[in-house]
Amino acid sequence: MKKSMTEGKSRSQRLTDWGESRREFQLPEWESLPQLGLYMDQVTLLLRQYLGPLSRGEEDKPITASIINNYVRLKVMPPPVKKKYSRVHLASLIIICILKQSLSISDIQKMFPEDHSEEAVRGLYDSFVRQYQKVSALFVQQIQAADDTFEMGGAGLVTAMAVLSSLSKDMTRFLLREETPGDREEA
């Protein structure tokens, strides 16, 4: 029988390990995304490689061709050109895959530039990567310092994170309602 990597570890050690894995995780920079057009199976493979470290195992559904086609149909991202996907598509999909865990597709769509131009998507993606790194580092630091703030045993931390998630989603939706396309600021 295969042993779990977390078997035998204390909750504190598992939290430390989780924090370290998040601290070490890096989203790919725009320049490291392939310049050549990719076919659908190449896109799904790359996304699994890029986002694999964020996977929570069996409960995470892998990105599929039908899911990507749905995002195109909903106009969250532009259609492929001659069945090939570009950096714009990869960057869009990375953002979508990360944010869909907590936001609706319609909320995510509001974050994207309407024209889906390479320049506009690159600006959004570069800002997203910077913010993701800053916020995840701050979050991990705060969780590791939270021993006295949250009830670390039992459901205390789970409840605190659920409340934080709810408040974060509420604030995001508030900001998206308040913001007009011209109001977007570079972070």
Global pTM reads 0.83
Buried b (16+ CB within 10 A) or exposed e, 106-121: ebbbbbbeeebeeeeb
pLDDT at residue 119 in the model:
96
CA 180/CA 42 separation, integer angstroms: 35
Average pLDDT by stretches of 10, the chain with 187 residues: 59 79 90 95 94 72 88 94 96 94 91 91 96 90 68 70 87 83 48
Q: Torsion-angle region of residue 77: left (phi > 0), alpha (psi -120 to 50) or beta?
A: beta
pLDDT at residue 60 in the model:
64
3 state DSSP class of 81: strand
Strands (DSSP E) contained in 49-164 are none
CA 114/CA 182 separation, integer angstroms: 11
Give the end-to-end CA distance of the chain in Å, rounded to a whole number: 48
pLDDT at residue 156 in the model:
74
pLDDT at residue 33 in the model:
96
